[in-house]
Every structure is written in C-alpha cells, then in structure tokens.
Structure 1
C-alpha cells in the first residue's frame, strides 16, 4: 500500500497551515518560497517518495574564487547543522540537501526542516559570497563609487570591502 497520498496530504496541510507560498507542480513535488533577509528568497524543493521525503534548496552558484576555502567552510558547518547539509553539484553550485524517512514526516518536522534551510541559506549567504566572490564584490563596489552609482544593494558588504 502506497504511503504517498498520505504524505502528500500531510505536506500540503503543513505548508498551508504555515501560510507559506508554495507550488505543487506535480504529484509528490512541492516548491516552497522561503523569504529571507540576506538571501532575499530561497526556493526549497520537497520531493516525496515511497520511503520518505527529500529536501533540496539552491543556495549559490559555483564560486569564482577560493573554492577550497568555501568547501572547507561548508564542511565545517555541516557537522553542526540539523536535518540538512551543504552539498555541491557537478557544476560546483552550493545546495542544502537532506532526507527524512516516511515515518519521520510530520508537520512539526517539515516546519523544523524549512526553518533550518532558511536559517542556513540566509544567515550564511553573505559569508559564502565574501569567500567565493570577494574580488567581484570589491570590483563592483569600486566601479559604483567611481561612477557615483548607488551602493544600496551592496551595503551588507561595506565592512568586507573596507577590510580588503
């Protein structure tokens, strides 16, 4: 007997009750928008299968520089994280991924996992950008200053640029 209909109903109700913006593009698949501060939005995929739930969220594209430093930073954080961990795909893009057994899928656990994804993607986003894209950030900052352009969407990196 398939557990998919039961899991799907549970996930749908949990997302609705949490008042999250989400899509249900196919059976067993959900795309949830998690609003952030540093990373304005993280789209989190929930994929249901006979044995449980897979969760995956894109965090940032492959770094332009300092790849080994970023990978080290991500691996060090994995040891302290709940429910998901950082991973990279074949292109080097950074994701948060995790799995739950079917028996562990509850509304409370879905809420906890989505909160973890939001926290790890949002709280660490600027640090990941500083490590992997520092030269580009500093170059963009200097170009904008030289031309008198707005620095509004780079303000989070002011201390980083000054330290450099």
Structure 2
C-alpha cells in the first residue's frame, strides 16, 4: 500500500528548512531560497494521477527570444523531473509531474532540489540573453545618478562602454536578486 502523497509531502517539508504553506488540501506552496535568484516559489499539487510541479522562473524576455529558448531547450536535456516551459505570455516556468505511486520522500526532495538548481543556475544566463538592453540601460542610469551597481556585478561585461567602476559597488543586494 502506497502512502498518501500529501502526507509524504507534508513530512518532507516539515523536515526541510524552507518556508511553505498548504493553502488548500493537497496544494503546497514552497519558497526555495537561492543564490542568484533570491527565491523560487514552487507549487506541488496532488492530483488524481500525479503530483504536479510548477515554478515561475522569469517573465517573458524583452529580446533575443530564439537564444533564450535555445538555452532552455538545451538545458532541458540535462534535467530530471522538471523541464523549462513557456506559457501563453512567453513567461518562463519549470514544470513536471510525479506519478502518485512514485511519490516518496526521496523523490519529493529530488524534485524540489531540481527546481531550485535549474532556476538558480539558469537565472543570470536567462537575464543576460533576454534582457541585455535593460541591463545596460539600468547600469547607465545608476552610474549617471551615482547609485550603486552592486546587484549588476554579475553582468559587468554588459555595462555600456565608457562606464568604469562604481564607488558604491559594495553596497546593495547580491547580483541578480528577484
């Protein structure tokens, strides 16, 4: 007899050092802390046949869509349990399904780890590819105003020509936080 997937998920989440809630029976919203992406919100939803996994990664890229989607498709080939997907607006998500009989503490831990690793490790590259112009405009605007560019340091190679170091670069949040 297999365990109730919701009970398995509750048990795993109780043991992890992450914020989570169960807004309705069988629906779990988990906040996964990252390094490049400050947090990734992941929803686990127990269905009749499977546990659905969903996490928003980043809004629709402003530019260079082909390169962004190529990067995501190439990345999908190395993922297990989740895959990058694009919704009708072009926003980027991670999605997956775990068949109910396969729901074990190890698999729930794995899928949460896969979501966190995929979102966090891909975040800056997605921003570089899909938001280059916005990053350059932000760098120029902050420099012109004497504002800190500390959270742009991960994108230093994208700074506009002629803009040198930032005297306040040590201030502010870490790179790429969203």
**Considering the TM-score relative to the shorter chain, is it more than 0.5?**
yes
Aligned to 2:151: 153
Normalized per residue, the structure richer in helix is 1
Q: 1:85 corresponds to which residue?
A: 83
CA-to-aligned-CA distance 1:21-63 (integer Å, 9 cap, x gap): 1010001100000000110000000000121201000000000
- In structure 1, what is the equivalent of residue 21 of structure 2? 23
Unmatched segments (≥5 aa) in structure 2: 162-178
* Separation (CA, whole Å) in 1 of partners of 2:62 and 2:132: 9
SS of corresponding position for 2:131: helix
1:75-102, Cα deviation, whole Å (9 max, x unpaired): 1111111110000000000000000101
Aligned equivalents of 1:106, 1:145: Cα separation in 2: 51
Q: Does 1:124 align with 2:111?
A: no
State the Cα distance separating 1:12 from its structure 2 match. Answer: 0.5
SS in 1 for 2:36: coil
For structure 1, which segment, 127-136 or 15-24, has the greater mean C-alpha deviation from structure 2 after superposition?
15-24
Equivalent residue, structure 2, for 1:101: 99
Q: State the alpha-carbon separation in 1 of the partners of residues 5 and 122 from structure 2.
A: 31
The one of 41, 45, 48 equivalent to 2:46 is 48
Partners in 1 of 2:159 and 2:21 — Cα distance?
A: 38
Q: Which runs of 4+ in 1 moved over 3 A?
A: none
Measure, in 2, the Cα distance between the counterparts of 1:152 and 1:71. 28
Matching residue within 61, 64, 69 for 2:62: 64
Distance (Å, rounded) in 2 between the aligned partners of 1:76 and 1:153: 27
- Deviation, 1:19, is 2.8
Match of 1:115 among 110, 113, 116: 113
The secondary structure found in structure 2 opposite 1:10 is helix
- In 1, Cα distance between the equivalents of 2:38 and 2:124? 11
Shift of 1:146: 1.4
